[in-house]
Amino acid sequence: MGQRNRPTSSQQASNFSISKKTAWSSEEQPQAQDMCYAYVANNDKHLSIIFIHGLTGGRERTWTAKEASSPWPKTLLPLKFPESRILTFGYDAHVTQWRGVVSQSRIAHHAWKLLTALSTYREEDDTNERRIIFVCHSLGGLVCEDALVTSKQRSEPHLHGIIRSTRGIIFLGTPHHGAGLARWAEMLAKAVGHIKQANPKVVQVLQRDSEVLARIQYSFHTIIMTRNKEGNRNGAPPIEITCFYEELPPARAWACTFADSREVGACTKPHHQVVPQHSAILPGYIPIVIHANHMDMAKFDSVEDPGFVAMCGELRRWLKGLKADVDVNIAAVADTSGQQMSHARVPFWSVGETPECTESLQSCWLVPFGRNRDFVGRQDMLESLLKVLPPRADEDNCQRTVIEGLCGVGKTQIALQAAFRTRDRYPDCSVFWVPAVDALTFENSCRDIGRQLKVKGVDDDKADVGLLVKTALSEGAGRWLLIVDNADDVELLFGNAGAGATPLVECLPFNRNGSILFTTRNHEVTMRLDISPRHSFTTGEMRRDEAVKMLQRHLTESQTRDAESINVLLDFLTDLPLAIRQASAYISKTGMSVAKYLQHCQSSDSKLVTLLSKDFVDRNRYKNIKNPVTTTWLISF
C-alpha cells in the first residue's frame, strides 16, 4: 500500500491501516482491502483525486492497461496534474474468487468502509479541508454515491466533511438505472467452472428495478439537487458530474444459458454493452462516449488516448473552479441543511462502528398489519392522498394529513394501503404506525419506535417516551411517515385542565423530512390539528361496484350468483365496508346463501343486531378492539 506514517493502534483495531507493499501484489493481500492508497502523496492544499474500482476489479488492475506495468493514475495523471494528491480505494467486490472465500459485503458495507477509510486518512495528515474529486468505474460509482449519502447524514465533522469537500464525480460505466452487469458476471463465473462462492447481494444490486439501487439513486440525486439549489450559501458549491459510457460490447465475454447449475448451454458472442448508454448517463449532466468495452474503458495506455484526454479536460475545467473557493474552511462551515435532507437509512450507529447492513438501515418499517391483498376500491382517494402525503411533498413544512369518517368506513385500511404504497414508491422512507386508542397503547408504540431508532432512555419507566421519540424524529431519522390511527379522543390528544399526562399532540414531531397521517371519526380533531382542506380526506360508503367486489372477495362463486340479493343486501348495509366484511365472513363461515343471510337480517331488529354483532377474524385489524359494526350501522340512519 505505498509508504506513509506508521498506523496508530486505533487504525489497526479498525482495520483501516496504511501498509507498505511486500513481495505480494497489493491486491492479493486480504489486509489491503478497504483502505486508501496513495498513488501520488502530494501536499497540495487544493485537491485529492480518488479512484474507486468496480465489480471484480481491483485498485490497480482496473486502471492498468494491457501492456502497462503500472496504473495510469500513477504514471499518466501526475503529468497533467502534478500538484494533486491521487488516491485509490480498494474493496472486495468479486463475484467469484478462485483462491479464497468471497466477501459477502453489500453496497452499504463498501460505502461505509470508503467513508471511514477516507476520513481517517484525511484526519491522520490533517487534510480535512482538501477538495475531493471521485473517479469511479462501474460498481464503484454506486459505492461512492452511497458513501456520500451516508456522509451527508452523519454529524461527526470528519465524516460529514467528505460530502462537504466533494466537488466533482466522474462516472465510468456506472449503472445508474440497473444493467446486465450482474447477469454477465454470474454467467462468466459459471462458464469458466471455477465458481466457489457467489456474492448474490452485490450482484443483485445491479439488476434493473433493484430496491437497493433505487434507494441509493433517490437519496444521492436528492443531495445533488439540494447542493445545486443552495449554491454557495452554505460554503459548498454544486457537485460537478460527468458520465462516460462504453461504446463496445465485451471483447471476450460469452453469454451462456444454463439448464441448471451444472450444465453449460449454448454460448453466443454478445452484441450489447454491459452498461448501455441509457443506464450509464444522468439527465442534465455531460455524457461522453469512450470507444472501448466496459472493462477497457477504464484503462488508458498513453496521454494521447482519447478517453484520457476527455477525462483530463473535465478535471482541468473543474480545477479552475476549485481555486476560486480555496479559502473556504470546509470543516468550520455549519451545514444547516444537514438535518433537512432525505437519507437512505436511519443515522443512529455508534461512532466508529461499521453498521450491520440490514433492511432496517435502509429504512424502518413499524406497521402492525400486513398488506391487505383483498383491498378494493378507493383508488381515486389513494392517488390524491399519495400526492400530498410523502415527506418533502411540501419542502417548507412537516405536512399533516387526515382521513376522516365514521367507524367502519375503512379509514385504517386506506391508511394501511397508503403506508405500503409509500414504501413501494420511496424505499428510503421509514414508516411508523401509532394507534391512539388510549395513552398506554400510544406509549408502547412510541417505545417500539424508540427501540428501532436506538433512542437512549426509552426503556426507562420514568421517561416520557413520547417526547424522547418526538426529539429523535424531529432531529434526524431520515425521511419518515408517521401514521396516528384512531385519533378520536379529544381529551387524550389535546389534554384537559385536570390531567397530568402529556397531551399526545405535544408528542408529535416536526421535521421537514417527515409527514404525519391521522385517521379520525371526529371532525373537531381535524380542526384542532389545523389541517388544511387540501390535506383533509373524508371517506364514507363505498361505490356499489367496489362494494360488490369486496363482498365477492370472501365468498365462493356459487354464493355470488344471485346478483339481485347481493344488491339488496348492499342497500341494506348502506355499502359500509366493515359491515360488508362482517357479513361476508359470516356467510362464508356458515356456508349459507346471500339470500338466506338477507332474509335473517330482514326478519327482525334483534336478529339484525345479533348478526351485525358477530365477531370475525381479520388479521388487518386490532385484536383488542371489537367490531363496531352495529353502532356504526345504527348511526348511519
Would you say residue 343 lies in a domain? no
Which residue type sits at 308? Answer: F
CATH code where residue 232 lies: 3.40.50.1820
Domain membership of residue 5 (yes or no) is no
Q: Which residues of the chain have pLDDT under 50?
A: 1-32, 34, 96-104, 179-182, 184-185, 187-198, 208-209, 253-269, 327-362, 497-498, 630-637
Domains in the chain, number? 3
Q: Is position 263 within any domain?
A: no
Least Cα distance to 378 among 538, 222, 580, 610 occurs for: 538
Q: How far apart are CA 49 and CA 39, in angstroms?
A: 10
Using alpha carbons, select from 47, 44, 121, 68 the residue that is nearest to residue 90.
121
Task: Assess if residue 453 is contained within a domain.
Answer: yes
Going by DSSP bridges, is the β-strand pair 131-137/166-172 parallel, antiparallel, or unpaired? parallel
pLDDT score for 561: 81
- The residue range of the domain holding 405 is 365-539
Q: Which residue, of 539, 565, 593, is where some domain finishes?
A: 539
Are both 529 and 552 inside the same structural domain? Answer: no
- Compute and round to an integer the Cα radius of gyration of the chain: 30
pLDDT, residue 202, reads 52
- CB contact set of 113 (below 8 Å; sequence gap of 6+): 34, 91, 105, 354
CATH code assigned at 440: 3.40.50.300
Query: Residue 553's Cα: distance from chain center in Å?
Result: 34
Rounded to 5 degrees, φ, ψ at 588 are -65, -40
Instruction: Clarify whether residues 170 and 93 are in a common domain.
Output: yes
Cell readout for 366 is 413499524
Residue 472 falls within a domain, yes or no? yes
The span from the first CA to the last CA of the chain, in angstroms, equals 80
Q: Does residue 95 fall inside a structural domain?
A: yes
CB 321 within 8 A of CB 237: yes
Domain check: are 477 and 551 in the same one? no
CA–CA dist 325, 90 (Å, integer): 30
CA of 551: how far to CAs of 223, 306, 312, 539, 597, in Å? 47, 67, 67, 19, 13
**DSSP result, 392-410:** TSSTTS-EEEEEE--TTSS
Q: Do 565 and 489 share a structural domain?
A: no
Residue 28: inside a domain: no
Q: Is residue 346 part of a domain?
A: no
Longest alpha-carbon distance in the chain = 96
Q: Are residues 472 and 601 in the same domain?
A: no
pTM: 0.48
Q: Are residues 312 and 412 in the same domain?
A: no
Of 490, 509, 539, at which residue does a domain stop? 539
State whether 135 and 166 are in the same domain.
yes
Residues 569 and 503 occupy one common structural domain: no
Both 382 and 425 in one domain: the answer is: yes
**Quick one: 464 and 604 in the same domain?**
no
Tell which of 515, 539, 563 closes a domain.
Answer: 539
The answer to whether 34 and 90 have CB atoms below 8 angstroms apart is yes
Are residue 602 and residue 519 in the same domain, yes or no? no
Q: Looking at the structure, tell me whether residues 531 and 577 fall in a common domain.
A: no
